Amino acid sequence: MRVFNIIQSSLRTYRVKRYVFQSQLECYSRHATSIWRNKWQHYRALPTGVTKLGSEQFIIKNTMATTDHLTPEINLRLMTPQCKLYHCKFDDTSGVSDPYWAFYWPGGQVLTRFLLDNPSYVIGKNILDVGSGCGATAIACIKLGANNVLANDIDPVAEKAIHLNAELNGVSIETSTENMIGKVDTEFDTIILGDMFYDESFTKQVTDWLLKLLSLKRKMIMIGDPGRVFLNQLPIRKHLHQLEKYRLTEQCKFENHGFNDAAVWTIK
Amino acid sequence: MASLRVLVGCKRVIDYAVKVRVRPDKLGVVTDGVKHSMNPFDEIAIEEAVRLKEKKIAKEIVAVSCGPAKCQETLRTALAMGADRAIHVEIAEKEYEGIGPLQVSKMLAKLAKDEDANLFIVGKQAIDDDCNQTGQMLASYLDWPQATFASEVVVEDGDLKVTREVDGGLETVKVKMPCVITADLRLNEPRYATLPNIMKAKKKPMLKKKPADLGVDMTPHVEVLKVDDPPTREAGVKVESAEELVSKLKDVGCI
Ligand SMILES: C[S@@+](CC[C@H](N)C(=O)[O-])C[C@H]1O[C@@H](n2cnc3c(N)ncnc32)[C@H](O)[C@@H]1O
């Protein structure tokens, strides 16, 4: 009986503690959720091939310029905790295309950091950034003096975000939304990918392509990744050579549970 | 170093903040249209596993839930908290009503073997049935050591040093892996999922299984005879003075 009481009372304390926390959170997120729904509905209601004005305004309204990441020399419009949509919940995002461009993922952060610290990988090179997202890595390459940079992302909203971020950093950038995965007749000598290995089947598709590219032509391939499990389960793992490893920022860890660091690899 | 595969049990229960109502037939509580969420002690279990992964002690976290289709929402939460993949053992609503820790622990034990787990963390009890049996039965079916009611877990020379919350104090034990740990309230404070974690969670793999795949007999062994509301408190009375209080207490035979 005594034990039972202790269990009951500890559970009660727990419930009360959680309740206070949860109700604060909910009060905030209920508000955020309804806003999110409206915005997304508005976003989805736009005619296909989203008008330039529509998605650009959406990005501007729902992101904030920030340098709270591993490459503060590049200013980026991202969805930060100060932005309302950051706090929406599960069901609110299902069914619409998720704003991957609104975050600077750990793999992209360390890859960009590495290139900024080692410009010889970039200067004079023809670089393809696959899955560019917010465009940070491609922007860094332009600033460092690459010969030619293409920021590629199949999401048309990401394409807009890349242009906005380039403008914010005083550069202009070439973009494309073509799906290049599987294409082997590419003139780029350097292919970079930040955080593209978060989905099991997609990881297989991308890594098979990279290995094929490698076997056909001498290409420099660099990837940034926090060590997501699929990379270690596929044939590519035998070809990965680590160039550098970095600790993630607190904010980045908060956005990527389970990871404290991320690394840059080349594929050989 | 990172070598452990950690399995974590996640039960979907009526949300802790919901006021529970007994069904008219008095054989259970009303669940239709009621908010559900992950059992709070299982959130603690997931959190502990994620911390082990962040410390590079665990290499992979697999969240497991046995129950109706909606358990997938619970598993998505676990994935957003940091689990790498999930296994859902789907059990039809009606069948699920009849089973308990016995059948669930058998299923978990089979999964632990199939997945080659080194560590299984579960909540010490679920806040719906308050059974406090699954972890213990699981350890027994696996023939693994167990450390229940854990409030601290540290790795020491390849073993786990676990502080347990016991009646009136703490007990520290050392267990060899593979083992089962049940999470107590003070083990940690679970994080909540942020949008980027939620986005990535949608891409994480969720494997579906059936109890038959695991060869577990689902025959109910316990029959619920009756579920009652707690007795309602009667209204109190106000007293004007200490004298009146004393006389009232005498009236009811308390002093
Ligand atoms: C996790 S984000 C990484 C963004 C950025 N590289 C970074 O690290 O911050 C993945 C991006 O890949 C894009 N993507 C997905 N499939 C693609 C494909 N087949 N070709 C190009 N981009 C793709 C998504 O739209 C998304 O923006």
* CA B50–ligand 1 middle distance (angstroms): 25
Per-position DSSP letters for B188-210, written without gaps between them: -------HHHHHHHTTS-EEEE-
Contacts of B81 in chain A (CB under 8 A): 257
Smallest CA–CA separation between A78 and chain B, in Å? 12
Q: What mean pLDDT do residues A77-104 have?
A: 79
Residue A229's contacts (CB-CB under 8 Å, 6 or more residues apart) are B59, B60, B84, B85
In this complex, do B80 and A93 lie within 8 Å of one another by their Cβ atoms? no
Ligand 1, atom 13, residue with closest C-alpha: A131
Where along chain B do its domains lie? Answer: 4-251
Spell out which residues of chain B touch residue A19, defining contact as CB-CB under 8 Å.
16-17
Which of A7, A18, A200 is closest, CB to CB, to B40? A18
Cα–Cα distance measured from residue A128 to residue A121, given in angstroms and rounded to the nearest whole number: 13
- DSSP assignment letter at B110: H
**How far does chain B reach from its first CA to its final CA, in angstroms?**
65
- The reported pTM is 0.84
**Distance, C-alpha A17 to centroid of its chain:** 34
Q: In the 8-state DSSP scheme, what is residue B44?
A: H
Closest atom of ligand 1 to A106 CA is 8
Ligand 1 mean position, distance from CA B148 (Å): 43
Distance A133 CA to ligand 1 centre (A): 5
Positions of chain B with pLDDT lower than 70, given as ranges:
1-2
Percentage of the residues of chain A whose pLDDT score is greater than 70: 77
- The complex's ipTM works out to 0.79
The verdict on the CB of residue A108 being under 6 Å from ligand 1 is yes
User: What's the DSSP call for residue B69?
Assistant: T
What's the burial of B209, exposed, middle or buried (CB within 10 Å: 0-12/13-18/19+)?
middle
Question: How far is Cα B150 from Cα B147, in angstroms, rounded to an integer?
Answer: 7
**Helical (H) or strand (E) element with A255:** helix A250-255
Q: Which CATH superfamily is domain A104-267 in?
A: Vaccinia Virus protein VP39 (3.40.50.150)
* Contact: A14, B196; criterion CB under 8 Å: no
Contact criterion met (CB < 8 Å) for B200 and A259: no
Is A193 within 8 Å of A130 (Cβ atoms)? yes
pLDDT of A40 > 90? The answer is no
Contact A157, A96 (CB under 8 A): no
Which of B16, B39, B195, B204 to substitute to test the interface with A, most A CBs within 10 Å? B195
* A67, A175 contact by CB (below 8 A): no
The per-residue DSSP string of A8-70 comes to HHHHHHHHHHHHHHHHHHHHHHHHHHHHHHHHHHHHHHSPSS--HHHHHHHHHHH-EEE--SS
Contacts of A81 in chain B (CB under 8 A): 194
Strand, coil or helix: B168? coil
- The Cα–Cα gap between B142 and B112 comes to 8
pLDDT in tens, A187-228: 899 999 999 999 989 999 999 999 999 888 789 999 999 988
| Yes or no, beta carbons of B125 and A87 under 8 Å apart | no
The domain segmentation of chain A, as residue ranges, is 34-101, 104-267
Residue B132 · residue B122 · CB < 8 Å: no
Q: Tell me the pLDDT band of A86, cut-offs 50, 70 and 90.
A: confident
CATH topology of domain B4-251: Rossmann fold (3.40.50)
Cα B11 → chain centroid = 6
